[in-house]
């Protein structure tokens, strides 16, 4: 078998072109005689990789000048702690709980102050986004927190919550760079890169400059203070150099595809193929209310655990892999990130049609 169609939620598919380029540069990166993996993070060659990655990301997202971009370690989970440690000046924050990851962040924040759950969709297994137009935002909240795209459940905020003037903090791990976003509407945006941007083991945090201060909760480790990394240009300690290099390549690839507006159109086209099929299917159905559907993660079921298991197995044998839903929801989930080609979705739907006919 050659390359498969990998529908994994993360770590996930990367553009083939990017992988080939990395392979070509593996033994000798641009005449340095070494791999990026073997290179000092203080070298000129690596500084260029880092600077380019940052410049390209700024261009793609139109990041305003008063925001810093930080390449950090510890994945999204570390941000669950860093956000309250750095931002909870009044020790109060409001959380909108729309899935497992938002819930984890909410629970983590409780260690550092008063975290309020001001809205939730847990009553219906997180299959929708609650109405966030008039929430009971706390007067003294330091921020309002959302997980913008819920990887496990396949929902996405199509409009941002009304935070009533409070700072908005968003986990965008699974929709990062899938479409344009207005960075100026947020105080902090962060994404674990292994969903839509690069290999695992890194998180990119985009943070408004005035939020980067020494005034953090007592006991906050140096490594968990945003200012440490902002002052050192993401080189306070040895960063995940290879991951930064790979993300940089993906940013260049995204620019070549026409940027985030073009990606949005492509992603909408891909998702429509799958959702249209699910809406007309007599066997499969999507699990999310139509208006909150994610373009990136598409969960679906047949209604029978036994048929679900057979589908996943037969699909894998045909080269459509990692279609099993998250262990907390079951069924299937197709993650169709930026790097999933449209042919992958078309062929998956063809296979689903065939499976449907055979299992009437």
Ligand X SMILES: *Cc1c(COP(=O)(O)O)cnc(C)c1O
Which range binds ligand X by CB under 6 A, 23-31, 171-179, 239-247, 284-292? 171-179
CA distance between the termini of the chain: 30
Q: How far is the CB of 73 from ligand X (least distance, A)?
A: 10
CA pair distance 197, 47, nearest whole angstrom:
20
Binding-site residue ranges for pyridoxal 5'-phosphate = 101, 151, 171, 194, 237-238
Within positions 182 to 201, which residues make up the interface with ligand X, using CB under 6 A? 192, 195
Binding residues for L-glutamate: 42
Considering the rule CB under 6 A, would residue 76 count as an interface residue with ligand X?
A: yes
Q: Residue 353 carries which DSSP code?
A: H
Q: By CB under 6 A, is residue 239 in contact with ligand X?
A: no
131-150: contacts with ligand X (CB under 6 A): 147
Q: Which is nearer to ligand X, 176 or 253 (CB)?
A: 176
Q: In what order do the strands lie in the sheet with 332-335?
A: 285-286, 297-301, 332-335
Among 56, 68, 101, 142, which one carries the catalytic annotation?
Answer: 101
Stretch that binds ligand X, among 69-77, 85-93, 180-188, 231-239 (CB under 6 A): 69-77
Number of residues that bind ligand X (CB under 6 A): 12
Give which of 157, 186, 190 is closest to 76, Cα–Cα. 190
Closest CA to 160 of 136, 137, 182: 182
Alpha-carbon gap, residue 280 to 260, rounded angstroms: 30
Residue 207 Cβ vs ligand X, minimum distance, rounded to whole Å: 17
* Catalytic-labelled residue, pool 56, 94, 142, 171: 171
Task: Count CA within 13 A, CB hemisphere, residue 303.
Answer: 9
Pick between residue 94 and residue 171 the one whose CB is nearest to ligand X: 171
Task: Tell me whether residue 189 or residue 348 sits nearer to ligand X (CB atom).
Answer: 189
Q: Determine whether 165 is exposed, middle or buried from the number of CB atoms within 10 Å of its CB (0-12, 13-18, 19+).
A: exposed
8 Å CB contact between 197 and 191 = yes
**Sheet strands (E) in 209-312:** 285-286, 297-301
Residue 171 interacts with ligand X (CB under 6 A): yes or no = yes
Among 54, 151, 240, 338, binds ligand X (CB under 6 A): 151
Is 171 labeled as catalytic in the residue annotation?
Answer: yes
* Cβ–Cβ < 8 Å for 113, 88: yes
Of the candidates 54, 98, 163, 173, which one interacts with ligand X according to CB under 6 A? 173
Query: Footprint of ligand X on residues 79-108 (CB under 6 A)?
Result: 101
Euclidean distance between CA atoms 242 and 236, whole angstroms: 16
Cα–Cα distance for residue pair 5/18, rounded to 1 Å? 16
List the Cα angle 349/351/356 in 5-degree steps.
90
Q: How far is the CB of 82 from ligand X (least distance, A)?
A: 12
Contact region for ligand X (CB under 6 A) — 44-52, 170-178, 211-219, 252-260?
170-178
Which entry of 156, 166, 195, 324 is annotated as an active-site residue? 195
Closer residue to ligand X in complex, CB, 9/349:
9
Which residues contact ligand X (rule: CB under 6 A)? 10, 75-77, 101, 147, 151, 171, 173-174, 192, 195
Catalytic residues: 101, 171, 195
């Amino acid at each position: 078998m050659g390359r498969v169609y990998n529908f994994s939620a993360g770590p996930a598919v990367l553009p083939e072109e990017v992988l080939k380029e990395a392979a070509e540069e593996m033994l000798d990166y641009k005449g340095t005689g070494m791999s990026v993996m073997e290179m000092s993070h203080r070298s000129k060659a690596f500084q260029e990789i880092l600077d380019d990655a940052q410049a390209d990301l700024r261009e793609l997202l139109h990041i305003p000048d008063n925001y810093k971009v930080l390449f950090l370690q510890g994945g999204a989970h570390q941000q669950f702690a860093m956000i309250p440690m750095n931002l909870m000046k009044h020790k109060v924050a409001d959380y909108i709980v729309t899935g497992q990851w938002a819930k984890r962040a909410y629970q983590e924040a409780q260690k550092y102050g008063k975290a309020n759950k001001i809205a939730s969709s847990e009553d219906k297994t997180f299959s929708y986004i609650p109405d966030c137009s008039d929430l009971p935002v706390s007067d003294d909240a330091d921020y309002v927190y959302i997980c913008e795209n819920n990887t496990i459940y396949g929902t996405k905020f199509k409009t941002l919550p009304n935070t009533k003037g409070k700072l908005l903090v968003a986990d965008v791990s699974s929709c990062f760079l899938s479409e344009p976003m207005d960075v100026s509407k947020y105080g902090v945006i962060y994404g674990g890169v292994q969903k839509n941007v690069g290999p695992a083991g890194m998180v990119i945090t985009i943070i408004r400059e005035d939020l980067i201060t020494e005034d953090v909760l007592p006991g906050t480790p140096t490594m968990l203070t945003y200012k440490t990394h902002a002052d050192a240009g993401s080189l306070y300690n040895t960063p995940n150099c290879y991951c930064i290099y790979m993300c940089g390549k993906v940013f260049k690839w995204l620019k070549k595809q026409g940027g985030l507006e073009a990606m949005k159109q492509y992603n909408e086209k891909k998702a429509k193929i799958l959702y249209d099929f699910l809406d007309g299917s007599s066997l499969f159905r999507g699990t999310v209310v139509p208006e909150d559907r994610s373009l990136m993660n598409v969960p679906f079921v047949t209604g029978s655990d036994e048929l679900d298991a057979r589908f996943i197995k037969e699909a894998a044998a045909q080269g459509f892999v990692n279609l099993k839903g998250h262990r907390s929801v079951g069924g299937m989930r197709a993650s169709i990130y930026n790097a999933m080609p449209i042919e992958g979705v078309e062929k998956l739907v063809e296979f689903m049609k065939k499976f449907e006919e055979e299992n009437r």
